[in-house]
């Protein structure tokens, strides 16, 4: 018969890995981390960046090893889903070593590893992503018209992205298309996008344009196409069934009865679903934003670099979560922008 000391010693490594889950002041468990691995991008989408963006000096970025250590701490503390984003995550040099490291944690604490990409580098990386355990990806695509695509992304070319999406399918990745709903831009393509996704077997989600980054108030209000209106237009052609599915984010899902398609609507403006928010966002410089739509953030780079042990880092993460606010304050009502945040979407990661 072995004594209690033996069992404590034997299980110590397991107990050390089990830290209390992250619960915020509104009793929401934090199980989802989005990580922006770079603020740089090979496109300059008009709603996301200015054409002549100033990017962070490379010296300010966390190394991929540091990002790996940070993500591992979150996974030990209960994060089950990791989405890698940016900027364009697939333009960061050496990024596949980071995916490989995170991929090793899938099934060992981490349940899902995903990526949000503009699709430009997918021909190069889709098979590698699949080999790292990525099963589903989000590709941002607002239009299927070559000229309009070049116009909205400024630097992007549609054929390259369509080829990237094809490569993702060949690699066995499930693709969800994310389209930002833009008044006067892709309104006329609503059914073109829906039909194309039905034919290609992609899920499709529309996103309301958010007031992130300084683009000029008039431009934002002009761009805003409420998804309540988009939904009404869908209802003119399809029978819509509301689905119960919840992801802890602001997306709500509809089924189009006639095609069986699932359509997501991300409506941070017309509805605020913050009460079930399960996510936080980490930037490539180690800032943790507890809410996409608020300015408050916690610096994790200093505690990360202060000590080789993770105790201080974990304490800093816990303390940050106690500051997670109830929700954002975005509002376009009365034809003006309210609740705007100054940083660009590419900084925090969409
Ligand atoms: N470069 C990658 C991409 O485009 O998918 C990942 C980063 S991008 C910032 C993530 C998502 O944010 C994209 O789907 C993009 O359309 C969306 N986005 C960027 N700026 C936005 C804004 N102001 N309002 C709503 N969505 C925005
Ligand atoms: Fe780049 Fe994505 Fe922003 Fe477009 S939305 S500029 S692809 S980060």
Annotate the chain with three-state secondary structure.
CCCHHHHHHHHHHHHHHCCCCCECCCCCECCEEEEECCCCCCCCCCCCCCCCCCCCCHHHCCCHHHHHHHHHHHHHCCCCEEEEECCCHHHCCCHHHHHHHHHCCECCCECEEEEEECCCCHHHHHHHHHHCCCCEEEEECCCCCHHHHHHHHCCCCHHHHHHHHHHHHHCCCEEEEEEEEECCCCHHHHHHHHHHHHHHCCEEEEEECCCECCCCHHHHHHHECCHHHHHHHHHHHCCEEECCCCCCCCEEEEEECCCCCEEEEECCCCCCCHHHCCEEEECCCCEEECCCCCCCEEECHHHHHHCCCCHHHHHHHHHHHCCCCCCCCCECHHHCCECCECCCHHHHCC
Residue 290 lies in a domain: yes
Do residues 207 and 266 make contact, with C-beta atoms less than 8 angstroms apart?
yes
Residue 94 lies in a domain: yes
Residue 12 lies in a domain: no
Cβ(283) to ligand 1 under 6 A? no
pTM above 0.85, yes or no: yes
Containing structural domain, residue 307: 28-348
Give residue 5's pLDDT. Answer: 52
Centre of ligand 2 to C-alpha 45, Å, is: 5
Give residue 294's pLDDT. Answer: 80
Give the pLDDT of the chain (350 residues) as one tens digit per residue.
455 455 445 544 444 445 788 999 999 999 999 999 999 999 999 989 888 889 999 889 999 999 999 999 999 999 999 999 999 999 999 999 999 999 999 999 999 999 999 999 999 999 999 999 999 999 999 999 999 999 999 999 999 999 999 999 999 999 999 999 999 999 999 999 999 999 999 999 999 887 666 655 446 557 889 899 999 999 999 999 999 887 766 788 999 999 999 999 998 665 566 888 899 999 999 999 998 778 789 999 999 999 999 999 999 999 999 999 887 765 545 444 555 556 566 666 55
Centre of ligand 1 to C-alpha 48, Å, is: 6
Residue 10 lies in a domain: no
| 34, 42, 49, 91: residue to mutate for ligand 2 pocket, most atoms within 8 A of CB | 49
Question: What is the domain-level CATH number for residue 340?
Answer: 3.20.20.70
Residue 135 lies in a domain: yes
| 36, 41, 48, 89: residue to mutate for ligand 1 pocket, most atoms within 8 A of CB | 48
Pocket of ligand 2 (CB under 6 A): 41, 43-45, 48-49, 86-88, 118, 140, 346
**Nearest atom in ligand 1 to 85's CA:** 6
| 92, 205, 221, 345: residue to mutate for ligand 1 pocket, most atoms within 8 A of CB | 345
Do residues 264 and 253 make contact, with C-beta atoms less than 8 angstroms apart?
yes
Cβ(197) to ligand 1 under 6 A? no
**Nearest atom in ligand 2 to 49's CA:** 6
Residue 287 lies in a domain: yes
Residue 62 lies in a domain: yes
The count of domains in the chain is 1
Residue 22 lies in a domain: no
Centre of ligand 2 to C-alpha 274, Å, is: 24
Give residue 16's pLDDT. Answer: 45
């Amino acid at each position: 018969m072995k004594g209690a000391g033996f069992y404590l010693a034997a299980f110590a490594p397991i107990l050390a890995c089990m830290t209390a889950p992250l619960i915020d002041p509104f009793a929401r468990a934090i199980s989802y981390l989005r990580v922006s691995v770079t603020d740089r991008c090979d496109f300059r989408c008009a709603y996301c960046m200015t054409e002549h963006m100033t990017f962070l000096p490379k010296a300010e970025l966390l190394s991929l090893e540091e990002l790996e250590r940070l993500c591992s701490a979150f996974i030990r503390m209960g994060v089950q889903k990791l989405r890698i984003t940016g900027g364009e995550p697939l333009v960061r040099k050496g990024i596949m070593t980071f995916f490989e490291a995170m991929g090793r944690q899938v099934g060992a604490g981490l349940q899902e590893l995903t990526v949000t990409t503009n699709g430009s580098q997918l021909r190069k990386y889709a098979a590698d992503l699949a080999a790292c355990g990525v099963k589903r990806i989000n590709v941002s695509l607002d239009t299927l018209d070559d000229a309009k695509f070049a116009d909205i992304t400024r630097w992007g070319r549609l054929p390259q992205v369509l080829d990237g999406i094809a490569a993702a399918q060949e690699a066995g990745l499930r693709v969800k298309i994310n389209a930002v709903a833009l008044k006067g831009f892709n309104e006329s393509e609503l059914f073109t996008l829906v039909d194309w996704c039905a034919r290609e077997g992609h899920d499709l989600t529309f996103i309301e344009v958010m007031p992130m980054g300084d683009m000029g108030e008039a431009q934002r209000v002009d761009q805003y196409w409420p998804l309540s209106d988009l939904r009404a237009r869908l209802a003119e052609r399809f029978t819509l069934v509301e689905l119960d599915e919840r992801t802890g984010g602001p997306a709500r899902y509809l089924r189009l009865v006639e095609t069986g398609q699932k359509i997501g609507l991300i409506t941070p403006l017309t509805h605020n679903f913050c009460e079930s928010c399960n996510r936080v966002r980490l930037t490539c410089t180690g800032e943790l934003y507890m809410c996409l739509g608020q300015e408050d953030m916690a610096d994790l780079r200093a505690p990360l670099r202060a000590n080789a042990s993770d105790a201080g880092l974990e304490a800093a993460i816990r303390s940050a979560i106690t500051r997670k606010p109830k929700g954002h304050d975005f509002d376009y009502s009365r034809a003006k922008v309210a609740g705007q945040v100054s940083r660009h979407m590419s900084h925090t990661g969409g």
